[in-house]
Amino acid sequence: MIGSTLSHSPQAESAPMRVALAAGGTGGHVMPAVALAEALREEAPGIEVLFFSGRREQEVAWYRQAGADPVQLPAAPIGRGAAGKLRGLWGAWNSYWKARKALRRWGAQCVVGLGGYVSGPCVLAGKQLGLPTVIHEQNAIAGKANRWLARRVAVVATTFPQAFSSVHGVQAVETGNPIRERVLAKVPKKEALAHFRLDSQRLTLLASGGSQGAQRLNEALIRFLAYPPRGAASRVQIIWLAGTRNRDWVERQLQGIDAPSPLRLVPFLEEMSLAYAAADAILCRAGSASLAEAAAWGLPMIAVPFPWAADDHQRLNAEFFAKAGACVVLEERDLDARGLSAAIELILGDEERRRRMSQAALGLARPDAARNLARLTLEALRKARIHSARPCNST
């Protein structure tokens, strides 16, 4: 028998709560996990949190920048062909056993999976140990692992209401996508523009490729600046978050281009609230985290879905925002100088449209998402503690 249930005891309720959070791969998974940890500590002072990540240097670095040292697991995507599938399955199997051992040793009382290849094995290990388990799906369509786990966990949470519509019998709670408080921290627009040394009389476009940068967006911006742009697009100033690994390439491409507008190239920005406060619109990929943060700031969006995202989830994310009137969807095949200039003109050249899009974005915003998910997690944990003194005593 895996795990056992003991009768309720006062010691079980008084022991420190310990929650394991599993998320990796991209900042779109890692940052919601960090935001959830912050909210858990706010809701339940004294709670202890353990992070699980993959072994990629960047994802571990994101956790360490947040002051955490995650347990690193060898989870990897299930690739194509027999060899790729074997590597992925071996990574998942190995991750499951390593996670199981770490959860037991640490004394975890609840496991939350927030996406990435590390999430599934950790949640399954927690489930098999008899712990309450929670999954959070960030995208408009649930990934394969979450679709499978959804029938087996205590709580299913989502950012988009339709994420599990194809999975019969699953009751999901729409919490929104957790965002760190420092990203939501309000900054006066004048102060933000001054930080970037930008003109308060011009409109500002924030161009962000997400946590790792997006080379196709960078290439499009180079062509846009060399076009040269006309109309409102010629009067816009740009905060360009190009990504650390892309900085040298972008700087080389900018040599010899006489950009008609002020431009601030920023490889990486820790205080994203400054960029959001300065911006009048955003050009971004259609990752759930990027759209959620833009919505929280009421920014009209030009979203360019990554065409090779699993299950085409970025397109579905963007279409959800577009239907609400908060977003213009620009296909990657149309991401050239003319297409980008037209999209910028559409928003920044029309004050009334920009106002409507901003209101639509705010209507979709869920700045309380981290707190919502934290409360669901704590509720699941407390229910389990009532019925089990030691939920993680398996052999």
Summary mean pLDDT of the chain: 89
Confidence band, pLDDT 50/70/90 cuts, at residue 392: low
Which DSSP letter does residue 55 get? S
pLDDT digit string (tens) for 270-281?
899 999 999 999
Rg (the chain; Cα; Å): 22
Give the type of residue at 375.
R
pLDDT of residue 10: 42
| 320-326 own/partner pairs: CB under 8 Å, 24+ apart | 320/140, 320/160, 320/162, 321/286, 321/291, 321/295, 321/361, 321/364, 324/360, 324/363, 324/364, 325/356, 325/357, 325/360, 326/295, 326/300, 326/301, 326/357, 326/360, 326/361, 326/363, 326/364
Domains of the chain in start order, with CATH, are 10-179+368-387 (3.40.50.2000), 186-364 (3.40.50.2000)
pLDDT of residue 254: 87
Which DSSP letter does residue 15 get? S
SS3 content of the chain, % helix, strand, coil (to 5): 50, 15, 40
Confidence band, pLDDT 50/70/90 cuts, at residue 107: very high
> At residue 214, does pLDDT exceed 90?
no
pLDDT digit string (tens) for 149-176?
999 999 999 999 999 998 988 999 999 9
Residue 252: Cβ within 10 Å count: 10
Q: Residue 214 and residue 244: Cα distance in Å, rounded?
A: 11
Q: Residue 192 and residue 271: Cα distance in Å, rounded?
A: 11
Q: Residue 320 and residue 308: Cα distance in Å, rounded?
A: 18
Output the pTM of the full model: 0.91
Three-state DSSP class for 206? Answer: strand
Q: Residue 291 and residue 274: Cα distance in Å, rounded?
A: 17
Q: Which of 4-13, 81-90, 238-247, 330-339 has the highest mean pLDDT?
A: 330-339
pLDDT of residue 2: 29
Confidence band, pLDDT 50/70/90 cuts, at residue 179: very high
Looking only at the bridges linking them, the beta strands covering 204-208 and 281-285 are: parallel
